[in-house]
Structure 1
Amino acid sequence: MPTVLVTGANRGIGREIVTQYMADGWDVIAACRDPDGAGLDCETLALDVADPDDVEAAKRTLGDRPVDLLWNNAGIYPDKGQGLDTLSYARWLEAMHVNCLAPVRLAAALSGNVAASDRRIMAFTSTMMASIGRDPSGAYAYRSSKAALNMAVTCLKHDVRPLGIACCLIHPGWVRTDMGGEAAAIDVATSVTGMKRVLDGFTMEHTGRFLSYDGSEFPW
């Protein structure tokens, strides 16, 4: 039975990832800061992705257990609705830590677990808002931290390729969640169904690509 480990699994997209992989019969490890309060009906892992000690503890808990799909989904959008005049530079640094550094730290820590599996995939939830080619404006912290994630994973793919691990950057769509808002275009089920379809066909040939939930490719 394949295993998926999902971060940010307590709500929104992460929770729907848990639900759909459970329905497909996968062994699911749902990681979040407070699993006891999340009401998740699967194996859970207490993990604050921004805490290096938590990452080390997660690695000790997993030991040598294979993880077919490591899905770095946890993220924050600290400057939603803020302009340059109200931008918090402390929160910007927090966004860089959570959205970029933390996923790479976890990927490095668990690379051996992913390499020991049959599927050997690392997925990273990115966003169309990270695309410089779309000539964006506003949301300095969120956009730049996710753009930094895109670059970091582009570098990471070279280091994990010898282990047989493929890396996927994926845009979930504009989704109706706490982060996306009620006006967003699609619901979480549509988003995750699409992303799962992309990952089901993902191979080393595609590693490092920046894809949308519908399979199309995004400009960098």
Structure 2
Amino acid sequence: MATVLIVGASRGIGLEWVRQARAAGDRVVATARDEAGLQRLRDLGAVALKLDVMDTASASGLAWQIDGYAFDQVALVAGVYGSRISGLQTPTEAEFNTVMQTNVLGPMRVLPQLQDALAPGARLAIISSRMGSISLRSDSQGWLYRASKAAVNSVLKDASLMLQDKAICISVHPGWVRTEMGGEGADIDVQTSVAGMRAVMAGLSPADNGSFINYDGQRLTW
């Protein structure tokens, strides 16, 4: 039985991750921003913690909420796409702040809170996106979201260096998933995505630390 932390689990990928981990018999701690989300987590048998990565005070209080835990697996799932900007449309300041603070500053707030709550050999994944890859990029659709995922890949790489004696840290692309964010026309269902990412995490070795990996195990370039 593993002890698992999922940050941003009120719906979509995060909620399905809770469901699959609980079905596997894992002890699960998961976060949500509001009472409705927290109740969905409790209904699945998870320990539900209130956390808003957009709020400094909320994020800084995570460490005491998880004091005493030793997590074998951590998944930072919380993220937003933002406005469906096409072409070279300048985002508003509010749009920029929402996407960057959620997708980049959020993990930068949460990661320091986890350092004393990682079990030896823990596996930690930030849910990124292939859209954040610079070398694989072929169009500019969603350039604000792309910028945020490129930035969080940088955050993960630094975390992998700082935590290398404690955890194996990766960025993982969940695929184009049929969720509220991905839409009905996406390639795969959320069950397939999460099952793949859980398998990737289970198979990690120290040589994978600091890598960018697809949900099916394929290595991705930055």
How would you bin the TM-score normalised by the shorter chain? over 0.9
Aligned counterparts of 1:202 and 1:173: Cα–Cα separation in 2? 19
- Would the aligned equivalents of 1:125 and 1:170 in 2 still touch at CA under 8 Å? yes
Shift of 1:19: 0.4
8 Å CA contact 2:62–2:110 kept in 1: the answer is no
Pair 1:209-2:211 in alignment = yes
Shift of 1:83: 4.2
Give CA-to-partner distance per residue, 1:56-89, whole Å, 9 cap, x none: 2221121132111121000011122444346323
Measure, in 2, the Cα distance between the counterparts of 1:134 and 1:89. 28
TM-score normalised over the length of structure 2:
0.92
| Corresponding residue number in structure 2 for 1:26 | 26
What CA distance in whole angstroms lies between the structure 2 residues aligned with 1:205 and 1:47? 32
Distance in 1 between residues matched to 2:219 and 2:190, nearest whole Å: 20
State the Cα distance separating 1:35 from its structure 2 match. Answer: 4.0
Q: What number of residue pairs does the alignment pair up? A: 217
2:172 to 166, 170, 173: 170
- Cα pair 2:13 2:190 within 8 Å, conserved: yes
Residue 160 (structure 1) aligned with residue 190 (structure 2): no
Give the alignment of 1:68-79 within 5 angstroms: 68-79=72-83
Cα distance in 1 for partners of 2:121, 2:27 equals 13
Call closer, same or farther: CA 1:66–1:132 in 2, change over 3 Å. same
Q: What corresponds to 1:151 in structure 2?
A: 154
Name the aligned partner's letter for residue 173 of structure 2.
Answer: H
TM-score with structure 1 setting the length:
0.93
Residue matched to 2:140: 137
Contiguous gaps of at least 5 residues in structure 2: none
The one-letter code of the counterpart of 1:10 is S
Question: Against the structure 1 CA distance between its residues 81 and 181, is the aligned structure 2 distance closer, same or farther, given a 3 Å change threshold?
Answer: farther
Deviation at 1:104, TM superposition (A): 2.4
Moved more, 187-196 or 30-39: 30-39
Which residue matches 1:39? 40
Q: Which amino acid letter does the alignment assign opposite residue 130 of structure 2?
A: M
Distance 2:149 2:182 in 1: 15
Tell me whether 78-87 or 144-153 shows the greater mean CA deviation: 78-87
Task: Tell whether the 8 Å contact from 1:79 to 1:140 is kept in structure 2 after alignment.
Answer: no
**Partner deviation per Cα, 1:96-118 (whole Å, 9 max, x = no partner):** 1110121122111111101xx14
User: Runs of 5+ in structure 1 lacking a partner?
Assistant: none
Letter paired with 1:107:
L
Distance, in Å, in 2 between the alignment partners of 1:32 and 1:19 is: 14
- How big is the shift at 1:93? 2.4
C-alpha distance in structure 1 between counterparts of 2:59 and 2:88, whole Å: 33
Q: Cα deviation per residue 1:25-52 (whole Å; 9 max; x = unaligned)?
A: 1111120101444422221010001222
Same amino acid, percent of matched pairs: 38
Partner of 2:69: helix, strand, or coil?
A: coil
Alpha-carbon shift at residue 183 of structure 1 (Å): 0.3
Deviation of 1:185 after TM superposition, in Å, equals 0.5
Correspondence for 1:11: 11
- Which residue of 2 is the match for residue 185 of structure 1? 187
How far apart, in 1, do the equivalents of 2:109 and 2:72 lie? 18
Distance 1:85 1:130 in 2: 18
